[in-house]
Amino acid sequence: MSSLIQKRKQHYPVSGFLLQYLQHFGRRWEIPLVYDDLLRFSEAVSYEDPDGEETLWLTVSYPQEAMKDLRTRLTEIYAVLKIGGDLSLAEHLSVERIDFGEFGNSRPFRIRITNQFNGNSDYYYVKIADANRIYGLELEHILSPNRINYLINGNTLIEEHIAGVPGNIFIKDYLKSPELNKVRVAKEFVKFGERCFLRLLGDMRSVNYVVDITPDFEEVQYRVRPIDFDQQSYEGLLEVYRSHCFPDNMPVDELVREHLNPTTILQYRSEERSQMARRYRASRVRLKGVLKMMSKDTIAPHDQLVSLRAALCQRYGTSAFEACDSMGRLTATHLQFMLE
């Protein structure tokens, strides 16, 4: 873990008023409560990627009867997440593999679902429901150009897989490619950093985002998307919210400085703020709702709130943040300060 983050994140349960918000906007669903049962695996082996290299994931297995029960419930969850819960359209789907990520704050399970007719596979994730993560998912859905699909019931959080090249792999295998449009990549990373900073999403190390690469009619388009939302408005150190401050993102920061001059960087940051401001106004009712829940919730230790509040006051030379008594209120004030 980067030296910017010294301790494992504290887990915060989902409050009753946040559940009411999630119910209103269709995020709360009577899906099977499977997280605790998934923890009862009997065996685990290291998962190897397609190149045969070991990863931090473990492929887990269960006793025969337990797996039979899990297979039914996990397929039902996929049907609700993807096809509106119509189980008649899910009879040909099977649970091919279950992986466990003990390394993550949310200790996720990755479920591989395979279509038995054509062999096509898809993934989704089962995680511990955590308040920071849910607020992060909602703010991403509202304020970014990306839509987020997730459901919650009890302590079980279900997330759709976000496709893309993992950031660390992109830096290692793509960044020095002669075919790479380095200016477009640099521009997108500037915009990505601005989006994360404005809504105070931290810990954007290279393993916590993916790069979505889309061929266009003349050039290739790139979009950087966060895949980890545990550090939404949690840490007290301002640098945690600046993606370029993480050592493993240094090659990207160097690319930006090599291919974009300071005036162009400011232009792209301004462009992203303008786009966020439009989304901010277009989704004002929903955004106001989630920020209201967030403002009265406890999602970080008090000393980290005090530290971040002071850092923001110093950065902007203003006392606008001094009255913020929660991380949620600090986030709301920062968005208002930057976008209105």
The answer on pLDDT for 74 being more than 50 is: yes
* Nearest CA among 198, 209, 195 for reference residue 238: 198
How many C-beta atoms lie closer than 10 Å to residue 128's C-beta?
Answer: 18
Residues 213, 163: Cα–Cα separation, whole Å? 10
Would you state the structure tokens that stand for residue 136, as one six-digit string? 């992060």
Strands of the 209-215 sheet, one edge to the other? 165-166, 209-215, 220-226
The answer on pLDDT for 2 being more than 70 is: no
Would you state the structure tokens that stand for residue 301, as one six-digit string? 């230790």
Q: Output the pLDDT for position 217.
A: 86
Helix axes 262-282, 182-198, angle to 10 degrees: 50
Residue with tokens 């993916």: 210
- pLDDT band at 50, cuts 50/70/90? confident
Q: Output the pLDDT for position 52.
A: 86
Beta partners for residue 166, in sequence order: 210
- pLDDT band at 218, cuts 50/70/90? confident
The answer on pLDDT for 192 being more than 70 is: yes
Residues 46, 125: Cα–Cα separation, whole Å? 18
Q: Output the pLDDT for position 62.
A: 98
Q: Output the pLDDT for position 1.
A: 43
The answer on pLDDT for 6 being more than 90 is: no
Residues 22, 292: Cα–Cα separation, whole Å? 13
The answer on pLDDT for 208 being more than 90 is: yes
With contact defined as beta carbons under 8 Å apart, do 150 and 106 qualify?
A: no
Residue with tokens 């492929």: 59
Residues 187, 255: Cα–Cα separation, whole Å? 10
CA distances from 117 to 74, 86, 92, 98, 226 (A): 19, 18, 7, 20, 32
Tens digit of pLDDT for each residue in 221-258? 999 999 999 999 999 999 999 999 999 999 999 999 99
Residues 9, 173: Cα–Cα separation, whole Å? 30
With contact defined as beta carbons under 8 Å apart, do 96 and 113 qualify?
A: yes
For the entire predicted model, the pTM comes to 0.96
Tens digit of pLDDT for each residue in 100-145? 998 878 899 999 999 999 999 999 999 999 999 999 999 999 999 9
Mean of per-residue pLDDT scores for the chain? 95
13: DSSP letter: P
Tell me how far the alpha carbon of residue 43 is from its chain's centroid.
29
Residues 6+ apart with CB under 8 A from 142: 279, 283, 286, 287, 290
Q: Output the pLDDT for position 49.
A: 86
Tell me how far the alpha carbon of residue 290 is from its chain's centroid.
17
